[in-house]
Amino acid sequence: MALVQNFPFITIVFSLTCGVLCAVLPGRGAKRLCLGWLALTTAMSGAVLRFTLTTDGSFLYRMGKWGAPFGNELRVGVLEALMATAFSGVMLLSLLGGMRHIFADCEPGKVNLYFTMCALLMSSLFALIYTNDLFTAYVFVEINTIASCALVMLRSSDRTLVATTRYLIMSLLGSGLFLLGIVTLYGITGELLLESIAEKVQALFAAGQYSLPLTVIIGFFSVGLAVKSALFPFHSWLPDAHGSATPSSSAILSGLVLKGYIIVLIKIFYRVFGLEIIVSEQVSRFLLLFGVLAMLVGSVNALRERDLKRLLAYSSVAQVGYIYVGIGLHSELGMVAACVQILAHALTKPMLFICAGGFMDVSGGHKDLAAITGAGLRDPLGGAAFSVGALSMMGIPFFAGFVTKLELARGALEAGPVTLGITFAALAVSTLLNALYYIPIVFNLYTRPRDGAWAGVRQRYHWEYAAALAAFIALNLGFGMGSDWVVGAIRRGLALFGM
Partner 1 sequence: MPGLVQHLFTNYYETAAVVLFGIGFTTLLMHRNLLKKIIGFNFMDSAIYLYLASKGYIAGRLAPIVSGENADPARYINPIPTGLVLTGIVVSVSVTAFLLALTCRLYDRFHTLDIDEITRLARKEQV
Partner 2 sequence: MGFLLLLPILFPLAAALALCLRPLRAQRRRRAFTVAALALELGLTALCAALAGGTLPLLPLAEGLCVTFGIDGLGRIFSLLVAFMWLLSGVFTQEYMADREHLGRYHVFLFLTEGALMCLCLAANYLTLYLGFELMTLCSLPLALHTQTGPARRGGYKYLFYSVFGACLGLLGFYTVHTYGRGTAFAPGGVLDPAKVAGHEGFVAAAAFLAVVGFGAKAGLFPLHAWLPAAHPEAPAGASALLSGVITKGGVLCVIRVVYYQFGAAFLRGTWVQYAWLALALVTVLLGSMLAYQEKLFKKRLAYSTVSQAAYILFGLALLQPTAFAGAILHVVVHSAIKDGLFFTAGAVIEKTGQTDVRALRGVGRAMPFTMGCYTVLSLGLIGIPPLGGFASKWLLAEGSLASGIPVFGWLGPAVLLVSALLTAGYLFPITVSAFLPGADLDGTSAPPLEPGPWITLPLAVLTALTVLTGLFPGPLADAAAAIAAALC
* DSSP symbols for 21-85: HHHHS-HHHHHHHHHHHHHHHHHHHHHHHHHHHHHTS-EEEEGGGPPTTTS-EEEE-HHHHHHHH
Residues 368-397, one symbol each (x = binds partner 2 by CB under 8 A, - = not), give --------------------------xxxx
Instruction: Give whichever of 134 and 263 is closer to partner 1, judged by the CB atom.
Output: 134
Which residues lie near partner 1 (CB under 8 A)?
135, 138-139, 142, 145-146, 149-150, 157-159, 161-162, 164-166, 168-169, 172-173, 176-177, 179-180, 183-184, 186-187, 192, 244
Residues 100-159 that bind partner 2 (CB under 8 A): none
Residues 444-473 that bind partner 2 (CB under 8 A): 447
- Please choose which of partner 2, partner 1, none residue 406 contacts, taking the beta carbon within 5 to 8 angstroms, the exact cut-off set by kind: partner 2
Cα separation, 489 vs 314, whole angstroms: 30
Q: Is 300 in the site for partner 2 (CB under 8 A)?
A: no
Q: Which span sits near partner 2 by CB under 8 A: 256-264, 373-381, 467-475, 481-489?
A: 481-489
Least distance in Å: CB of 265 to partner 1?
20
Instruction: Give whichever of 148 and 319 is closer to partner 1, judged by the CB atom.
Output: 148
133 phi, psi to nearest 5 deg: -130, 135
Q: Is 366 in the site for partner 2 (CB under 8 A)?
A: no
Using alpha carbons, list the distances in angstroms from residue 447 to 310, 373, 450.
Answer: 22, 6, 9
**CA-CA-CA-CA dihedral for 467, 468, 471, 473, to nearest 10:** -110
Q: Which of 154, 480, 490, 497 binds partner 2 (CB under 8 A)?
A: 480
Q: Is 474 in the site for partner 2 (CB under 8 A)?
A: no
Q: Is 413 in the site for partner 2 (CB under 8 A)?
A: yes
- Please choose which of partner 1, partner 2, none residue 11 contacts, taking the beta carbon within 5 to 8 angstroms, the exact cut-off set by kind: none
Least distance in Å: CB of 241 to partner 1?
12
297 phi, psi to nearest 5 deg: -65, -40
Q: Classify residue 408 as exposed, middle or buried by CB count within 10 Å of its CB (0-12, 13-18, 19+).
A: buried
Determine the size of the site formed for partner 2 (CB under 8 A). Answer: 32
Using alpha carbons, list the distances in angstroms from residue 497 to 71, 264, 268, 269, 408.
Answer: 20, 12, 10, 10, 20
- Please choose which of partner 2, partner 1, none residue 2 contacts, taking the beta carbon within 5 to 8 angstroms, the exact cut-off set by kind: none
406: how many CB neighbours lie within 10 A of its CB?
Answer: 16
Q: Is 57 in the site for partner 2 (CB under 8 A)?
A: no
Q: Is 354 in the site for partner 2 (CB under 8 A)?
A: no
Instruction: Give whichever of 14 and 135 is closer to partner 1, judged by the CB atom.
Output: 135
Least distance in Å: CB of 224 to partner 1?
11
- Using an 8 Å Cβ cutoff, are 130 and 12 in contact? yes
Angle at 168 between CA 165 and CA 169, to 5 degrees: 85
Q: Which of 432, 455, 474, 499 binds partner 2 (CB under 8 A)?
A: 432
> How many secondary structure helices (H) and strands (E) does the chain include?
22, 2
Q: Is 405 in the site for partner 2 (CB under 8 A)?
A: yes
Using alpha carbons, list the distances in angstroms from residue 415 to 418, 473, 486.
Answer: 8, 34, 23
Q: Hey, is 74 helix, strand or coil?
A: strand
Nearest Cα to Cα of residue 325 among 311, 306, 345 = 345
Q: Is 439 in the site for partner 2 (CB under 8 A)?
A: yes
Q: Classify residue 31 as exposed, middle or buried by CB count within 10 Å of its CB (0-12, 13-18, 19+).
A: buried
Q: Which of 160, 431, 459, 476 binds partner 2 (CB under 8 A)?
A: 431
Residues that bind partner 2 (CB under 8 A): 394-398, 402-403, 405-406, 409-410, 413, 417, 420, 424, 427-429, 431-432, 435-436, 439-440, 443, 447, 480-481, 483-484, 487-488
